[in-house]
Amino acid sequence: MNADQPGWNLYRSFLAVLREGSLSAAARALDLAQPTLARHIDALEAGLGLELFTRSQQGLTPTDAALEIAPYAETLESAAAAMLRAASGLGVAVRGTVRISASEMVGAEILPPILTGLRRQHPELEFELMLSNTVSNLLRREADIAVRMVEPAQDALVVRKLGAVSLGLHAHKDYLDRAGTPAALSDLAGHTLIGFDRETPAIRAMRSRVPGAEGLHYAFRADSDMAQWRAIQAGFGIGICQAPLAQQVPGLVRLLPDAIDFSLGVWLALHENLRATPRCRAVFDGLADGLSRYLLTDRRV
């Protein structure tokens, strides 16, 4: 590399300022002195021949140039993190860090006991969980392994379909004791409903399969599956959640199972370059086993 080209530490500082909005906040996030961070930004601007931030009393505002190069800096960040994870697990021992991408519900409710078992089996394993309902890009090494509820379409991946999980309407017994139990879909209009704050194509497709769903009013709306799940458990009202999870919670009742019964496929994927890495192979197999056992508890699938 040309000695005049900006080094990774400059891009790392750039991303911190972009995310934090000020030099002081970015310096705290990176545990650097603020003058050092300011020099990094100045050096990067000089090296690229671009103005990256507009300075004002309110902080630093990214320019169009900064927003244009940000995705490339994030790719460098992902690659650097992946290199460190790979280095931590070199050799034949099952050790090092594995970064896992999963949806909010899967990552918070289903994976922890599975990872606990893996850690007991392999005490030198460490895990990073990236919880998001967006699909991570394994080819850019944003994660080593992904649990997905949509079939992966990327090439160069090792993919295993584990089965499917059913979704259905559920409510807590406390709510049903107060409001009554709906006997038909038409009864839902008179109930307190829990739903999504923002519609995605998947949600619209799901609603299209429920007669009258478009006209329903939702008293609790959230773009977080976890928030909806907690509201159902708290007895707020009626909402949709994974049936196997609901079966584990005393007091939750499945409603209208013959009228509303969706299923989502569950896939496990990793980059093919990692299939022979001991730590990734062990975690991939452990996740496959644990998730398959979870899916077997679903009495509807």
Domains and CATH numbers, the chain: 8-85 (1.10.10.10), 94-301 (3.40.190.290)
> Which residues make Cβ contacts (< 8 Å) with residue 97, sequence separation at least 6?
84, 85, 88, 89, 125, 126, 127, 128, 279
Kindly tell me if the per-residue pLDDT of 87 is higher than 90.
Answer: no
In order, the DSSP letters of 22-70 are SHHHHHHHHT--HHHHHHHHHHHHHHHT---EEEETTEEEE-HHHHHHH
pLDDT at 147: 92
pLDDT at 123: 93
Residues belonging to the chain: 301
* Share above pLDDT 90 across residues of the chain, in percent, rounded to a whole number: 37
Is residue 249 very low, low, confident or very high in pLDDT (cuts 50, 70, 90)? very high
Q: How many CA atoms lie within 13 A of 122 on its CB side?
A: 23
Kindly tell me if the per-residue pLDDT of 2 is higher than 60.
Answer: no
Is residue 297 very low, low, confident or very high in pLDDT (cuts 50, 70, 90)? confident
pLDDT tens by residue, 108-143: 999 999 999 999 999 999 999 988 766 666 656 678
Structure tokens at 288: 């496959």
**More confident of the two residues 89 and 296:** 296
pLDDT at 1: 42
- Tell me which residue has tokens 């099952």: 94
Kindly tell me if the per-residue pLDDT of 160 is higher than 70.
Answer: yes
Is residue 95 very low, low, confident or very high in pLDDT (cuts 50, 70, 90)? confident
Asked if residue 241 lies in contact with residue 170, where contact means CB atoms within 8 angstroms, the answer is yes
144-156 average pLDDT score: 81
pLDDT at 195: 87
Q: What is the pTM of this model?
A: 0.67
Q: What is the mean pLDDT of the chain?
A: 85
